[in-house]
């Protein structure tokens, strides 16, 4: 058995969703909306299954989708991407990440990772032979400094894996942070793999800035997006990878032997969706922002110490004021009684974890959020 995977626990997202089902808890753990998602996009997928092409689509993705991705990122992020040589469709951002790490890392290369990090990153880096170098981010601001980067980068750094907006922190990194990171990538000749799956889910008028657009980064950035997050259809697993042709050459070789392709009907529906008018994207953000505000206000009324969330489906609560110091144990109890599933943020650290922060998913109907708040009120009354 390969030692990276042999002893790994089941992912915390699956574990908490299973516990939520077992205990009939309100599931604010794993990040998925409880709304069925945009009907027109789902109809397109259904029509494409019935009337469309259901054999292997092209390895790089159907041309309509690659063109739609190029137009979409031109419209929203001012990027000029060539659909033929700089865009590839993958089966979700997860495949894009796995493929990028396999394609870019040689055994022994160092990879800079920011903790808290999405739980797939570290095993994938290790399996590719990469040696992790961690930057530790801490609440309440989760920001990094020049000294943090200086301690993590070295002449052996090959890749930096950067998630913006950051799951689970809900923080959005802006121009200054990106410039600092870019300066290190350039100085150490590293490639930035940017997990930007949350790029459309940002609040309070914030707009996503891709690292790829910064001076000197066009040739050394792999940008990754996910239709699952853009259309609130997390089960769809349609991802996109954007990179300069010299990087894409290797990335596509990894992709061709991981999944090779992605279901053509979903690709057709995503191509349609990416072209939807601005009102769809504004409305989607406004709905999630309203859910965030409702849940944050409710938590505040109950006296919980809530951290700022500027993006993603998540908001974090500091449990130290409750006298708690073990977020995993706290979440295990919470899911049983009063019956709310959440995610311990320590699961996103490989070492020296922050153990006093718990993540809740607010991408839910008002009734779901209210039911969770009612249960959390019971906890506070004890
Ligand atoms: N990266 C991050 C930061 C995520 O939060 C997620 C899932 N929510 C993914 C990657 C995986 O995306 P996909 O479902 O498209 O594989
Ligand atoms: N990205 C989702 C989250 O952060 C979970 C995805 C998964 O379950 N693999 O909750």
What is the DSSP track for 91-127? SHHHHHHHHHHHHHPPTT-EEEEEES--TTHHHHHHH
- pLDDT of 198 over the 80 cut: yes
Angle, alpha carbons 115-116-122 (nearest 5°): 65
Give the chain's mean pLDDT: 97
Q: If pLDDT is split at 50, 70 and 90, which confidence band does 45 have?
A: very high
**Residue 194 forms beta bridges with which residues?**
162, 223
* The pLDDT of residue 81 is above 80: yes
Query: How is the beta sheet containing 343-344 ordered, strand by strand?
Result: 305-306, 314-318, 357-361, 343-344
The yes-or-no verdict on residue 10 having pLDDT over 80 is yes
Looking up tokens 């057709």 gives 268
For residue 379, the model assigns a pLDDT of: 84
Indicate whether residue 31 lines ligand 2 (CB < 6 A): yes
- Tokens 């990276």 -> residue: 4
For residue 197, the ligand closest to its alpha carbon is 1
- What average pLDDT does the segment 179-190 reach? 98
Indicate the range of 136-150, 226-240, 367-381 predicted with least confidence. 367-381
Q: The whole model's pTM is what?
A: 0.97
Task: Note the pLDDT tens digit of each residue in 215-224.
Answer: 999 999 999 9
C-beta of 93 in contact with ligand 1 (< 6 A): yes
Cβ–ligand 1 distance for 226 under 6 Å, the answer: yes
Note the pLDDT of residue 7: 86
**Interval between CA 382 and ligand 1 midpoint (Å):** 36
Residue 381 clears pLDDT 80, i.e. is over it:
no
How far is residue 159's CA from residue 220's CA, in Å, rounded to a whole number?
10
Token pair listed for 361? 């998913």
* Whether residue 197 has its Cβ less than 6 Å from ligand 1: yes
Rounded Cα distance, 126 and 115, in Å: 15
For residues 69 and 88, give the distance between their C-alpha atoms in angstroms, rounded to a whole number.
9
Interval 247-300: pLDDT, tens: 999 999 999 999 999 999 999 999 999 999 999 999 999 999 999 999 999 999
The average pLDDT across 201-211 equals: 97
Report DSSP state, residue 8.
P
Buried b (16+ CB within 10 A) or exposed e, 356-380: bbbbbbbbbeeebbebbbebbeebe
Which residue, judged by its Cα, is nearest atom 12 of ligand 1?
Answer: 93
Distance 83 CA to ligand 2 centre (A): 28
The arithmetic mean of pLDDT across residues 88-97, rounded, is 98
> What is the whole-number distance in angstroms between the Cα of residue 322 and the centre of ligand 1?
31
Asked if residue 167 has its Cβ within 6 Å of ligand 1, the reply is yes
Instruction: Report how far ligand 1's centroid is from the alpha carbon of 240 (Å).
Output: 12
Closest CA to 265 of 237, 229, 241: 237
d(CA 82, CA 78): 13
Ligand 1 close to Cβ of residue 31 (< 6 A): yes
Instruction: Judge whether residue 230 has pLDDT over 70.
Output: yes
Out of 197, 228, 348, give the residue to mutate to test ligand 1, the one with the largest number of ligand atoms within 8 Å of its CB: 197
Judged by its nearest atom, the ligand closest to the C-alpha of residue 92 is 1
Residue 164 Cβ < 6 Å to ligand 2: no
Q: What is the DSSP letter of 248?
A: H
Using CA atoms, how far apart are residues 37 and 312, in angstroms rounded to an integer?
16
Which pLDDT band holds residue 74 (cuts at 50, 70, 90)? very high
* Residue 335 predicted with pLDDT over 80: yes
pLDDT of residue 382: 67
State residue 110's pLDDT score.
98
Q: Given a cut of 70, is residue 144 above it in pLDDT?
A: yes
Ligand positioned closest to the Cα atom of 97: 1
Nearest ligand to the C-alpha atom of residue 114: 1
- Residue pair 329/220 in contact (Cβ under 8 Å)? The answer is no
Give yes or no for residue 228 CB within 6 A of ligand 1: yes
Is the beta carbon of 92 within 6 A of some atom in ligand 1?
Answer: yes
Predicted local distance difference test score (pLDDT) of residue 85: 98
Q: Give the Å distance between the CA of 231 and the centre of ligand 1.
A: 13
Amino acid 179: pLDDT:
98
């Amino acid at each position: 058995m390969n030692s990276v995977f042999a002893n790994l626990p089941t992912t915390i997202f699956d574990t908490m969703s299973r516990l939520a089902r077992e205990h009939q808890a309100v599931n604010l753990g794993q990040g998925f909306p409880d709304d069925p998602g945009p009907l027109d996009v789902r109809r397109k997928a259904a029509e494409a299954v019935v009337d469309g092409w259901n054999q292997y689509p092209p390895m790089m993705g159907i041309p309509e989708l690659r063109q739609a991705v190029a137009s979409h990122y031109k419209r929203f992020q001012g990027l000029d991407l060539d659909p033929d040589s700089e865009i590839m469709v993958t089966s979700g951002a997860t495949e894009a990440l796995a493929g990028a790490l396999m394609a870019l890392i040689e055994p022994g290369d160092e990879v800079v990772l920011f903790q808290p990090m999405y739980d797939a990153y570290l095993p994938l880096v290790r399996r590719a032979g990469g040696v992790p170098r961690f930057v530790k981010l801490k609440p309440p601001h989760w920001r990094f400094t020049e000294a943090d980067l200086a301690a993590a980068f070295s002449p052996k750094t090959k890749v930096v894996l950067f998630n913006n907006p950051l799951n689970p922190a809900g923080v959005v990194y802006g121009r200054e942070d990106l410039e600092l990171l870019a300066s290190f990538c350039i100085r150490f000749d590293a490639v930035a793999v940017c997990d930007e799956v949350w790029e459309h889910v940002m609040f309070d008028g914030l707009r996503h800035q891709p690292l790829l657009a910064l001076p000197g980064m066009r040739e050394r950035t792999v940008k990754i997006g996910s239709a699952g997050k853009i259309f609130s259809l997390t089960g769809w697993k349609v991802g996109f990878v954007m990179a300069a042709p010299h990087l894409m050459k290797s990335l596509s070789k990894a992709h061709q032997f991981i999944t090779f392709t992605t279901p053509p009907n979903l690709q057709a529906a995503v191509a349609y969706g990416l072209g939807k008018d601005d009102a769809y994207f504004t409305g989607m953000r406004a709905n999630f922002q309203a859910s965030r505000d409702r849940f944050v206000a409710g938590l505040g009324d109950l006296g919980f110490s809530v951290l700022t969330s500027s993006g993603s489906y998540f908001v974090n609560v500091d449990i130290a004021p409750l006298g708690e110091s073990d977020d995993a144990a706290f979440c295990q109890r919470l899911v049983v009684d009063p019956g709310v599933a959440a995610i311990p943020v320590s699961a996103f650290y490989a070492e020296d974890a922050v153990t006093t922060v718990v993540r809740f998913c607010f991408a839910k109907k008002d009734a779901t959020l209210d039911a969770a708040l009612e249960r959390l009120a019971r906890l506070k009354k004890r």
